[in-house]
Structures are given as structure tokens and as C-alpha cells.
Amino acid sequence: MINYLENSDFNSLSDKEIMILIGQDPGDHLLDARKVDYNLRLLKVNITEIDKSRSLEILIANLYSTIILKGKAYIYCEMNPGDFTIINKSLADKIKFREWQATVFSFEKRGYIERIKGTHFGNSGWYTRIKPTEKFTNEIIKKYNITYKNLIQNHHLIELGSKKKVNNSAKRIFDIERRLNRYNDLLVNTDITFPSSVLDSSYKYNLAYRTYKRSFKNSFSKNGRFYGPCWQSMPKEERAKILINGENVIELDYEGMFINLLYSIRNLNMFDYISVDEDPYYLKKYNRKIVKSAFTACVNEKCNKKNINHVVSGLAKKILKDKFVKGVNYRKILDELSIKHSNIGDMFYQDIGDDLCFMESRIADLVLNSLTKKHIPTLSIHDSFIVPISKSTELYNSMINAFNTLGYSSLPNIKGYTRV
């Protein structure tokens, strides 16, 4: 048995780390408004004293998201004015401590929550743990039919990398923000229904994330991909079960996007060198997923021929799982792929992943902007897009037009579309 008091490593841990180590659930901290803006405008809870309180929305949203969606035991938060103001500076600007305190006390008095003995986390102050009761579930969640659709967790619209935040007054980003706001507004007002298999494992996803941001890499010409929504981390088979405004969906995918973008940089068309029906990642005797992973790594991960086997083996183990085979020579796979694509083979290992991501993000921006103007809600997963099945032709045409508009010379095949 471990003697915690005599264990110097244990004594160096914070209270939160100790709780995790000994098997206690530390819960989730009250979500800070710097990172979170829960939208509960559809929620109408008639609790007289606090029915117009912003703190009511924050408390319900955190309890629902943390305990019900994520499966945590409780949330923890500050219950004295000093810690509340210092630790939650942005949140304190939205709600005053007395308002928050009154809301918590009112919920406790009515039997909606229980306050559990808190803990002191390092130098951060004292935290109270809050746990919802069965009455909260029955009289708040069930009575008012609160679901993940009532919660929207927003992001900073633009990130520059290295924790940089963008100056909102910069003229350079005005158009990016305007397009993102228009796109996100459409999504917020769209009924996006996830399958029961996703809801049953909601702890894997944050279902309140249903809007986008663009993430650049220290420059507005590096990366710029669209990130944010929970469906980006869902398996493709689960995304296929999503309903948009009650309608089944279709996902169209650019096949071999990065390889085609390399050809486009050289102002070449890939299909002048391989058959139109040929998979750009096809190599005899090799699993396609491994070939694609090796190629993606060699342009993205600051790889070179010396470390490529180490880098890709980690990816392959995650992808193939029980089918993973040790000792595969991924360098040889890439050598063969570079022979197949001899016109671009010298661009492997050149650390140009952020440049390719930027090209891809420009394509996505045009596709999304075009469809948003037509009021067609679209879910982007970088190089693939999901729309209501009745809008598949509009999506297909937008995907082709985006490549042509940008003057990219090598248009990939688009998987998933059946011309009607």
C-alpha cells in the first residue's frame, strides 16, 4: 500500500491531481466566458426569483453539459467573492458574484443541487463541488425538454497559433469574420440531430460545439482550416446518420486532396499521368490507409527519411489497431508512391503541410460561402462536406466551382456523388 504522506512525488501534486490519482472524479470547472458562451435562448425555465438571470443559464448549462453529456460527477466553482472575481475575470463581467451566489443557493434550497465539500487546488483558491439531484433532472431537464440543441459553445472566430489572438479591428480579417458569422448563424438556426449511438456516448464529444473557427499558423497564409464542431471527431459511419432539418444527409469527399494540390502547385493535372479511375494512394500489396497516412505525415510532420518509420508507425498503430504489423518499411512505401507520382515526388518531406492546408481551407471557404448564400446548411470536415441529401447536386457543383475559381489545375475525383 502506498504511504501517500511519505511519498514526495505525491506531496508535490496539486489537490486536483491527487483526486485523480486516488480515483476521485475532480469534475469540471465552471466554464469561463473567455472560452464559452452558452446560448440558452430557447430555454424558458419559470423560477420566479431568478428567471431573468444570466447566472441561471450558466448554472443549468454547466450542470447539463458536464454531468449529463460528459458523464462527470459534478462541477466545481468558486463560492466566495474574492476567488470568483480573480479566477473568473471574464465571467465576473457577465454575472456578478451575488447573482451567482443567489442562484446556487436558490437551486440548493429547492433541492435541484447538492453542494459537496470542496477542495483547494494549489494556489487557485477554494472550489465548491456541485452535483445535480434527481429533482433537477425531472423538473428542469425533462420538464423543459433541455437537450444538447439548447446549448451552443462558441469559439474565438480566428486563431493565429501559439496562443495568439487576433485584433478584431484588423481590416485584414473583416471578411473572414463576416463569412464565419454568416455561416455559424445558419448552423445555429439549423436543426442538427445526432444518432442515438452518438448520444449514448456523448462523453466522447462536446455536442455543444456546433460552430466553426479558422485556425491559422502564425500567418494568414498558413493553414487556416475550419475547426470546432463535434461532428469533425465523429466516425464517418456515425456522421452518415445525422439528420439536418429532419432530412437524411450525404457526404461528398475530395479524393486524394493533398496529392492533387501538389500537382496544382506545379500547374499539372494528376489525371494526365494516371487513370481517372485510379486511386492516387493505390500501391500493390499495401493497405491504402497506411499509404495515405505515410504520405500525409511526410508533408505535415516535419518528417525526413530518417524518422519517417517512427512517425508513421505510431499513426498506423492507431489506424489498424489489432491488424497493426510491426516492422513495416514506410520509407519504402513513400519511395514507391513518389515513383508513381514522379512529377511531385521531390515535394515529399518538404514540410509544406501548412501550405497545403491553407490551399484546402480556401477551397472549403468558397464551398461554404456559396452554399450559405443559398441557405443550405453544410457541415465541413476539411476536405469533405455534409448536406441534406436533396442538396447533393448544389454541393457537387460548388466543390467543382471552388477549384476552378482558385485556378487549381488538378481537380480530384469527388466521392459519394451519384448524378441523378
3-state secondary structure of 71: coil
Q: How confident is the model at residue 60 (pLDDT cuts 50, 70, 90)?
A: confident
d(CA 406, CA 394) in angstroms, rounded, equals: 18
Is pLDDT of 93 > 90?
Answer: no
Domain presence at residue 347: no
Domain presence at residue 360: yes
**CB-CB contact of 343 with 322 (8 Å):** no
d(CA 73, CA 170) in angstroms, rounded, equals: 43
How many domains does one find in the chain?
3
Regarding whether 334 and 400 lie in a shared domain, the answer is: no
279 phi/psi in degrees, rounded to 5:
-75, 125
Residue in the block written with cell 466516425: 235
Residue 111: what pLDDT?
Answer: 93
User: What are the helix (H) ranges across 266-329?
Assistant: 288-300, 308-320
Domain presence at residue 402: yes
Contacts of residue 221, defined as CB under 8 A and 6 or more positions apart, other chains included, come to 355, 358
Regarding whether 129 and 77 lie in a shared domain, the answer is: yes
Lookup: cell for 404: 476552378
Domain presence at residue 54: yes
| Host domain of residue 285 | 281-340
Average the pLDDT over each of 64-73, 244-253, 313-322 and give the range with the smallest value.
313-322
**CB-CB contact of 212 with 372 (8 Å):** no
CA 13 to the chain's CA centroid: 30
What sign does the dihedral 399-402-407-408 (CA atoms) show? negative
Regarding whether 409 and 371 lie in a shared domain, the answer is: yes
d(CA 33, CA 53) in angstroms, rounded, equals: 15
User: What are the helix (H) ranges across 246-345?
Assistant: 257-265, 288-300, 308-320, 330-340
Regarding whether 180 and 119 lie in a shared domain, the answer is: no
**CB-CB contact of 38 with 151 (8 Å):** yes
**CB-CB contact of 62 with 56 (8 Å):** no
Q: What's the whole-model pTM score?
A: 0.81
Residue in the block written with cell 454541393: 395
* CA–CA–CA angle 413, 418, 420 (5° rounding): 135
Regarding whether 333 and 381 lie in a shared domain, the answer is: no
Residue 15: what pLDDT?
Answer: 46
Residue 8: what pLDDT?
Answer: 41
Q: What is the mean pLDDT of residues 175-186?
A: 93
- Number of Cβ within a 10 Å radius of residue 339: 10
Domain presence at residue 271: no
Q: How confident is the model at residue 197 (pLDDT cuts 50, 70, 90)?
A: very high
pLDDT tens string 362-393: 999 999 999 999 999 999 999 999 999 999 99
Q: What is the mean pLDDT of residues 273-280?
A: 94
Residue 301: what pLDDT?
Answer: 62
In angstroms and rounded to an integer, the radius of gyration of the C-alpha atoms of the chain is: 25
Q: Which residues of 96-130 are buried (b: 16+ CB within 10 A; e: fewer)?
A: ebebbebbbebbeeeebbeeeebbebeeebebbbb
What sign does the dihedral 189-195-196-198 (CA atoms) show? negative
Regarding whether 221 and 193 lie in a shared domain, the answer is: yes
Regarding whether 223 and 177 lie in a shared domain, the answer is: yes
Residue 411: what pLDDT?
Answer: 96
Regarding whether 367 and 330 lie in a shared domain, the answer is: no
Look at residues 126, 150, 174 and tell me which one is the last residue of a structural domain.
150
Residue 172: what pLDDT?
Answer: 73
Regarding whether 143 and 70 lie in a shared domain, the answer is: yes
Domain presence at residue 117: yes
Considering only residues 325 and 240, tell me which one the structure prediction assigns the higher pLDDT: 240
Regarding whether 381 and 252 lie in a shared domain, the answer is: yes
Residue in the block written with cell 447566472: 55
Considering only residues 418 and 47, tell me which one the structure prediction assigns the higher pLDDT: 418
Q: How confident is the model at residue 28 (pLDDT cuts 50, 70, 90)?
A: low
Instruction: Please report, for the domain that includes residue 226, its CATH number.
Output: 3.30.70
Regarding whether 65 and 30 lie in a shared domain, the answer is: yes
Domain presence at residue 237: yes
Torsion, Cα of 265, 269, 273, 275 (10° steps): 130
Contacts of residue 176, defined as CB under 8 A and 6 or more positions apart, other chains included, come to 157, 158, 214
pLDDT tens string 300-344: 767 888 888 887 887 777 766 666 677 788 899 999 999 999 999
Is pLDDT of 264 > 50?
Answer: yes
Regarding whether 382 and 250 lie in a shared domain, the answer is: yes
Average the pLDDT over each of 34-43, 106-115, 154-163, 271-280 and give the range with the smallest value.
34-43
3-state secondary structure of 245: coil
With pLDDT > 70 as the criterion, what percentage of the chain qualifies? Answer: 78
Domain presence at residue 5: no
Residue 9: what pLDDT?
Answer: 46
* Neighbour order of strands in the sheet with 158-159: 158-159, 213-216, 223-227
pLDDT tens string 134-175: 999 998 888 878 888 888 877 788 888 765 555 655 677 888
DSSP 8-state code for residue 68: I
DSSP 140-161: IIITTT--GGG------SEE-S
